[in-house]
């Protein structure tokens, strides 16, 4: 079982790197088809299953599904260990079934697992909880499994750029650190120090509470109009922050998704009307 898990993750790394829409650390989607944009999932299996059902990639080969932050949350083992890595394995299998339609972008919980640094969620340090659960399931092979998870998470792209000037990433740099962000991170090979503060991948995945000035600056820098991110918890499933930023959450019972037509141009108001509660999906 551990060997099959490690092999699955290794195939996932190859799929991430060989994604035909990947350009450096960016996924650049085509101008036809559609995309289903999601927020953080954090171990919520039912919501993932709803996303898969809604996307129906078997019958929609020109549709793309953008996923983020699969780990840390959801079911626990009998000792409180986080079992979200099991959902991660299923997401990797989904990527392998549809290697050029499923795109999993890097989040701050991913960087924390790679670095084995503390990251809190609902009062619990999630890395310790997840690593303990992996140790209990895989025993002597757990280090091999944890390393393969780290390597897969590190292989993920950083963001998705849509042809209709929508930019999807886990977050954006915080105002006070934005001057340290180097956009060349999207176009060169990722290095381990990029995901450690103040590396640019770290800044991209950890920032919160962005000013309109920062959003305007980032939009000009990246040549986009609208940002769609996760990271910041939204009790109602989504929120608007500033004139050109939408925050999505897919990790709880009020979680949402946003389907978009890649050939169509949207205003922020038009995008907000597209949001669908995951609970409404059978």
Assign residue 93 the CATH number of its domain.
3.60.21.10
- Please state the domain count of the chain: 1
- pTM of the model as a whole: 0.97
d(CA 259, CA 274): 6
What's the pLDDT score for residue 11?
Answer: 98
3-state secondary structure of 106: coil
User: Residue 172's pLDDT is what?
Assistant: 98
Q: State the pLDDT at residue 219.
A: 97
Range of the domain at 127: 2-280
What is the block-wise mean pLDDT of the chain (282 residues), using blocks of 10 residues?
Answer: 95 98 98 97 98 98 98 96 98 98 98 92 91 96 97 98 98 95 96 96 96 97 98 96 97 97 97 98 86
3-state helix, strand, coil in the chain (%, to 5): 45, 20, 40
Pairing of strands 34-40, 63-68: parallel
At residue 120, the pLDDT reads: 86
Distance CA 141, CA 133 (A): 13
């Amino acid at each position: 079982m551990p060997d099959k898990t490690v092999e699955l993750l290794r195939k996932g790394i190859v799929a991430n790197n060989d994604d035909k829409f990947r350009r450096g650390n960016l996924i650049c989607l085509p101008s036809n088809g559609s995309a289903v944009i999601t927020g953080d999932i954090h171990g919520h299996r039912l919501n993932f299953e709803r996303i898969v059902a809604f996307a129906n990639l078997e019958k929609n080969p020109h549709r793309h599904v953008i996923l983020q932050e699969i780990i840390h949350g959801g079911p626990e083992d009998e000792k409180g260990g986080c079992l979200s890595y099991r959902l991660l394995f299923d997401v990797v299998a989904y990527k392998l079934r549809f290697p050029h339609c499923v795109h999993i972008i890097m989040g701050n919980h991913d960087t924390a697992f790679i670095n084995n640094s503390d990251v809190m969620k609902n009062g619990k340090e999630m890395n310790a909880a997840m690593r303990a659960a992996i140790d209990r399931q895989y025993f002597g092979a757990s280090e091999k499994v944890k390393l393969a998870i780290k390597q897969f998470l590190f292989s993920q792209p950083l963001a998705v750029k849509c042809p209709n000037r929508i930019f999807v990433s886990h977050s954006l740099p915080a105002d006070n650190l934005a001057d340290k962000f180097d956009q060349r991170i999207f176009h060169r090979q990722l290095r381990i120090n990029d995901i450690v503060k103040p590396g640019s991948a770290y800044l991209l995945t950890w920032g919160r509470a962005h000013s309109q000035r920062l959003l305007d600056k980032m939009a000009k820098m990246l040549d986009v109009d609208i940002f769609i991110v996760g990271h910041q918890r939204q009790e109602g499933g989504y929120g608007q922050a500033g004139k050109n930023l939408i925050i999505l959450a897919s990790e709880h019972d009020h979680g949402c998704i946003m389907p978009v037509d890649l050939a169509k141009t949207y205003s922020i108001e038009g995008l907000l009307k597209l949001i669908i509660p995951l609970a409404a999906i059978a």
